[in-house]
Structure 1
Amino acid sequence: MTTLAAPASISAIEAALAHLSDPEIPVVSLAELGILRGVREGADGTIEVVITPTYSGCPAMGQIEDDVRAALKTTAPNARVVTQLTPAWTTDWMSEAAKEKLRAYGIAPPQCGSAGDASHGTVKFSRHAVRADVVPCPQCESHNTTEVSPFGSTACKAQYRCLDCLEPFDYFKPY
């Protein structure tokens, strides 16, 4: 006689997914980045793992889905992966641990999220507010940096250069 295994609990599934890292930034987990939105029971009773891309054209999403499915094979083989585009991902979903790991990896973390951050302020020119963010160098922590290009190694990053240590670095753009 064959007995069916009891369905995995949501906490067991979350634990199975906790080690999954971003394919483009392997030092940060999907959960820390806020890409892994949650695990829930769908309307039909099937477990769903909800993921949200950092932006709608993120080329890593196929790999992320494959990694999630592989992690679910033993814990919840019948679970499905749901890509949810709304609400749109924001750097506000990124944990402080993720920001520290980015910095240690050589990527400047976002200075603020979609809602802004009063600690970085704005400068008013006429009737328009302009961000006055300074992106500190993740290598030497200097604030003497400049944007080289709004396009970095991936679309969610910009390329910067430190004018003190002269090192180039990526800046994870706030969304």
Structure 2
Amino acid sequence: MVSAPEPSLARLRRVAGAVPDPELPVLTIADLGILRDVRIVGGTAEIDITPTYSGCPAMAEIAAGIIRAVEAAGFGRPRVNTVLSPAWTTDFMTAAARRALREYGIAPPPEAAARRPRFAALPLPCPRCGSAETEELAPFGATACKALWRCRACREPFEHFKCH
């Protein structure tokens, strides 16, 4: 009988990290930056995740998605832990996540170096046409982490993933 090789942490990280965010399916939890740590303790896979904000309703679905993916990859039933500190910020998002949001029609948060205070006037480029002639319509969109904007040039509404 040939025994299976010891599961690798890199493979476990890839499997868990590939789970899509249920509210933004163009993003994986790795690209979003909420996948914090993976390890194997006593033969059990443990995965740490951090919510984008306290009370995020997507966390239960994300944990269930991780469990399904990890079990399907042959790691057995994992333990998924919610880690609140340090708190998640949009700084944890990868460049690939920002690009995917833009391609999906959502204006991504600016890079940390480009940030201004929340209520400062900032040109927010339209993810559809690129114009900086945009205006905020509502501070909240379909989810609490997004705001609703409109482009004055192409007249299209779009969401903006807010800085946290």
TM-score, normalised with respect to structure 1:
0.84
Is residue 107 from structure 1 mapped to residue 106 from structure 2 by the alignment? yes
Q: Sort the Cα spacing of 1:17 and 1:158 in 2 relative to 1 into closer, same or farther, 3 A.
A: same
Q: Indicate which of 66, 69, 72 corresponds to 2:70.
A: 72
Partner of 2:28: 29
For the 8 Å contact 1:33–1:93, the answer to whether it is kept is yes
Q: Report SS of the residue matched to 1:152.
A: coil
In the TM superposition, residue 104 of structure 1 has moved relative to its aligned partner by: 0.3
Aligned AA (2:8): S
In the TM superposition, residue 131 of structure 1 has moved relative to its aligned partner by: 2.9
Partner of 2:154: 165
Deviation track 1:45-69 (CA, whole Å, cap 9, x = no partner) reads 6431011111112111111000000
Q: Give the aligned CA root-mean-square deviation in angstroms.
A: 2.2
Aligned AA (2:85): T
Q: Which runs of structure 2 are paired with 1:1-175 in the superposition (5 Å)?
A: 5-42=4-41, 46-73=44-71, 74-113=73-112, 117=113, 119=114, 131-175=120-164
For the 8 Å contact 1:35–1:53, the answer to whether it is kept is yes
For the 8 Å contact 2:49–2:83, the answer to whether it is kept is yes
Distance in 2 (CA, whole Å) between partners of 1:62 and 1:165 is 38
Q: Sort the Cα spacing of 1:121 and 1:152 in 2 relative to 1 into closer, same or farther, 3 A.
A: closer
Distance in 1 (CA, whole Å) between partners of 2:153 and 2:40 is 52
Distance in 1 (CA, whole Å) between partners of 2:24 and 2:7 is 29
Unaligned runs of 5+ in 2: none
Q: Sort the Cα spacing of 1:30 and 1:121 in 2 relative to 1 into closer, same or farther, 3 A.
A: closer
Identity %: 47
Aligned AA (1:67): G
In the TM superposition, residue 111 of structure 1 has moved relative to its aligned partner by: 1.7
In the TM superposition, residue 132 of structure 1 has moved relative to its aligned partner by: 3.5
Q: Sort the Cα spacing of 1:66 and 1:8 in 2 relative to 1 into closer, same or farther, 3 A.
A: same
Number of positions where the alignment pairs a residue of Structure 1 with one of Structure 2: 163
Rg bigger for which structure? Answer: 1
For the 8 Å contact 1:18–1:31, the answer to whether it is kept is yes
In the TM superposition, residue 171 of structure 1 has moved relative to its aligned partner by: 0.2
Aligned AA (1:100): R
Distance in 2 (CA, whole Å) between partners of 1:68 and 1:35 is 12
In the TM superposition, residue 134 of structure 1 has moved relative to its aligned partner by: 1.8
